[in-house]
Structure 1
Amino acid sequence: MGRMSRTLITTAVMAGVIAGTAGWASGTGQEAVTGAPVGTEAWRAAGLPDPERMDPAGVARFFAGLSPVRRRELAASHPTVVGNLDGAPLDLRYEANARSVRGEFGGARVLAHDPRGRGQVVLVYGDLARAEHVAVLVPGSDVDANRVQPLADMAVALRRATGGRTAVIAWAGYTTPVGVGLDAATDRLAGVGADRLARFADGLAAVGAAEPSVFCHSYGSVVCGLAAHRLKAKDLVVFGSPGMRAENAAALGTSARVWAAKAPTDWIDRVPNVEFAGLGHGTDPTDPAFGARVVPAGDARGHGGYLAPGTSSLRAFARIAEGDVR
């Protein structure tokens, strides 16, 4: 049997496994949210600089040139823009988003909130401005502003595991797939998510936050793989990953340390690691040939149990976030 035939058969098997494991998502594919924040038209009409023409460093310079009074005026008059500008002062973004979400996300400060589509939100646990260590959690399918609790729970668990010393960000900042269907089997949504994640990390750097460790779950690891070569991060940790769209860790083009975890009971292990005709995400990052540092996850249960209290994976994640392992 030729290589092409084997690849086609494996791809067909992969499709069947995905369908049988979690069910194909019904309806049409998701439309990725892109472009400038809601309210940008009024912002531009007020003679303010176009958000789409500024990178996060430029945004930081713009706000640095304003008086404190003027900054707060902008947060009050254009909250949906200021609250979503990567590179804007953290406290100003919190203030602006508090006006928009009206206490909807209790227990966290809201660093970004986009109501378009299914909604996106970025939640912060801890003092991001002063924390010596920062962790960012990037989710997989079925997470949005209305279904962010599982991701928020992961963030809280990781912060507790570090003794509250690490600021943890729940980054539901891209349009995720719904279910495990064609969107989850391709990189279409991940490509847009990668752009947004890289810009978000640039925004953290622009305001002087600590370089983060980025933890990427399931389809979120595809996002992180595509962003890796331009993502400002000291660690890249993937768990429950279907692949990172890279043959090996070196192909990611990152200086970050790359880690990978997979539980023995995770259904993702039954999805063949192939990439063909746009389907599949390539090599299993826990395969020794990939070259990632393997995180112990033998006691994690299922696809979503990696940050459950008491698990070896959660303890390892906490040590990585705090820089306690080399």
Structure 2
Amino acid sequence: MRRFARTMGAAVLAVAVVAGTAGWAAGDSQVVVTGPPPGAAAWRAAGTAERPLPDPWTATPAEVTRFFAGLDADRERELLRAHPSVVGNLEGTPLPLRYEANRLAITATGEARYASLAAAGRQILAFDPRGRGQVVEVFGDLEQAEHVSVIVPGADNDAVSHDAPRKPATGPAGTARALRAAAGGRGAVIAWSGYTTPVGVGMDAASGRLAEAGAVRLARLTAGLDAVGAPDPVLFCHSYGSVVCGLAARHTDARDIVVFGSPGMRAGRVDGLRTGARVWAARGPSDWIADVPNVEVGGIGHGADPASAGFGARRIPAGDVEGHTGYFAPGTRTLTAFASIARGESR
């Protein structure tokens, strides 16, 4: 009975935090953008009985790769011009084709807020303007990369904020640039704003609803990387992004999963993630995430603290990290450790 009372007390505390203390009431409920990309119906209709096009939602990335391997250059260009939104978001499609398709799709929106994403030299791996928008960008040569990292961000990230001015080494693009510079070598880093994130820290941030949808998309991304021959990735998961990574862990071939500023991974211990990846955790001394109750009751809260000794993750030094977003600041021990993990040097 005492144990039940303690559990209920923790649940009440979690709900109280979500309901209005510590600023949690600032969030808005988001409509999940998932499923096939825009233009999927026209793409399907363009196929023939003799040569159907791979379904944008049900075809595996490996099947997509085999499909494009059987096309000549003229047919590739024809599909690219007619269906850029599908080609650009179809996991398993040749990377140069995806970059070009997304440049066309971004330009076709005619929206100034996305214009910078279509600039020369940008490598946009996915773009979906629905809702708040989703964007995935590659930094480095993904085709020749010896190691690949994926930045999985938390709340308040979308296609618009991806290029918004921010404090250096923060946000998906900023952290991707910082990690690539620190890791050096022939590595690539992917800034993955590829799911509908919470806005603020309201009920969406406290529940797993958006993370569940995001986990499906993250698993598909890693399958797409595998299909085009990229190395098994390291997932760097910040804040609510660590909830996404926790739910996706068993469905990815990630080499390592690194969580920082995490409210929980929807697992009580590392073995509950059911992954063969090494799992690492970091939390800075002034990160406000420490004030979030580590419970999960009735779908509210995300469970055990991954940075706690009992969770079983490998610890990353974070004593010089400032706040909730300072994990990639140049010169910190945390960024040095992140770079070592990205290169596959840490054991």
Match in the other structure for 1:104:
116
Q: 2:128 aligns with which of 106, 114, 125?
A: 114
How far has the Cα of 1:151 moved from its partner? Answer: 1.3
Q: Is the Cα–Cα contact under 8 Å of residues 23 and 181 in structure 1 kept in the other structure?
A: yes
Please name the residue that 1:241 is paired with: 262
Instruction: State the secondary structure of the residue aligned to 2:81.
Output: helix
Q: In structure 2, list runs of 5 or more residues that go unmatched.
A: 48-52, 108-114, 164-170
Q: 1:11 is matched by which residue type in structure 2?
A: A
Please report the TM-score for the alignment, with normalisation by the length of structure 1.
Answer: 0.96
Q: 2: CA distance between counterparts of 1:210 and 1:68?
A: 26
Shift of 1:165: 3.2
- Equivalence for 1:228: 249
Query: Which amino acid counterpart does residue 191 of structure 1 have in structure 2?
Result: E
Q: 1:306 to 1:22 in 2, by over 3 A?
A: farther
> Partner of 2:318: helix, strand, or coil?
coil
Shift of 1:24: 1.4
Q: Which residue of 2 aligns with 1:50?
A: 55
Give matches, 1:212-291, under 5 Å. Answer: 212-291=233-312
Give 1:71 deviation, angstroms: 1.0
Hey, what does 2:50 align to over in structure 1?
none
Q: Deviations over 1:212-248 (max 9, x none)?
A: 1010000000000000011111000000000000010
- The separation in 1 between residues aligned to 2:58 and 2:188, in whole angstroms, is 30
Checking the alignment, whether the CA contact within 8 Å between 2:141 and 2:186 is kept in structure 1 is no
Shift of 1:50: 2.2
Q: Is the 8 A contact 2:212 2:247 kept in 1?
A: yes
Unaligned runs of 5+ in 1: none
Change in CA separation of 1:13 and 1:152 when aligned onto 2, cut-off 3 Å: same
Secondary structure of the residue that 2:145 maps to in structure 1? coil
Please name the residue that 1:135 is paired with: 149
The SS at the match of 2:222 is: helix
Secondary structure, in 3 states, of the residue corresponding to 2:138? strand
CA contact (8 A) 1:123 1:171 kept: yes
Instruction: Give distance in 1, aligned partners of 2:280 and 2:58.
Output: 35
Range 162-171 or range 206-215, more displaced: 162-171
> Which moved further from structure 2: 62-71 or 315-324?
62-71
Corresponding pairs, count: 325
CA contact (8 A) 1:243 1:281 kept: yes
Contact 2:226 2:232 in 1 (8 A): yes
Q: The residue matched to 2:89 in structure 1 has which SS?
A: coil
Q: Secondary structure at the match of 1:23?
A: helix
Q: Which moved more, 1:13-22 or 1:199-208?
A: 13-22
Q: Which amino acid aligns with 2:24?
A: G
Give the one of 162, 170, 180 matched to 1:159.
180
**1:63 matched to which residue of 2?**
68
- Kept in 2, the 8 Å contact 1:21–1:267? The answer is no
In structure 2, which of residues 316, 319, 338 is the aligned counterpart of residue 295 of structure 1? 316
Distance 2:240 2:38 in 1: 26
Q: How far, CA to CA, are the matches of 1:281 and 1:142 in structure 2?
A: 18
Q: Pairwise mapping of residues 65-80 of structure 1 onto structure 2 (< 5 A)?
A: 65-80=70-85
User: What amino acid maps onto 2:319 in structure 1?
Assistant: G
1:97 partner amino acid: N
Structure 1 moving runs of 4+ over 3 Å: 15-19
Instruction: Say if 1:140 and 1:177, in contact at 8 Å, map to a contact too.
Output: yes
Alignment of 1:169-248 (within 5 A): 169-248=190-269
Q: Equivalents in 2 of 1:320, 1:274: separation in Å? A: 29
Match of 1:24 in 2: 25
Q: How far 1:100 moved relative to its partner?
A: 1.6
- Indicate the larger mover: 39-48 or 226-235: 39-48
Question: Alignment identity in percent?
Answer: 59
Name the structure 1 match of 2:139.
125
**In structure 1, how many angstroms separate the alpha carbons of the residues matched to 2:173 and 2:27?**
26
Partner of 1:304: 325
Q: In structure 2, do the counterparts of structure 1 residues 307 and 92 end up closer, same or farther at CA, with 3 Å as the change threshold?
A: same
Aligned-partner Cα distance in 2 for 1:239–1:159: 18
Q: Distance in 2 between matches of 1:104 and 1:95?
A: 14
Q: Select which of 146, 150, 162 maps to 1:148.
A: 162
User: TM-score, normalization: structure 2?
Assistant: 0.91
Report the Cα offset of residue 10 of structure 1: 1.3
Residues 1:310 and 1:16: Cα distance change in structure 2 (over 3 Å): farther
For the residue of structure 1 that corresponds to 2:161, the secondary structure is coil
Alignment-mate amino acid for residue 65 of structure 2: A
Moved more, 212-221 or 68-77: 68-77
The answer on whether the counterparts of 1:40 and 1:81 sit within 8 Å (CA) in structure 2 is yes
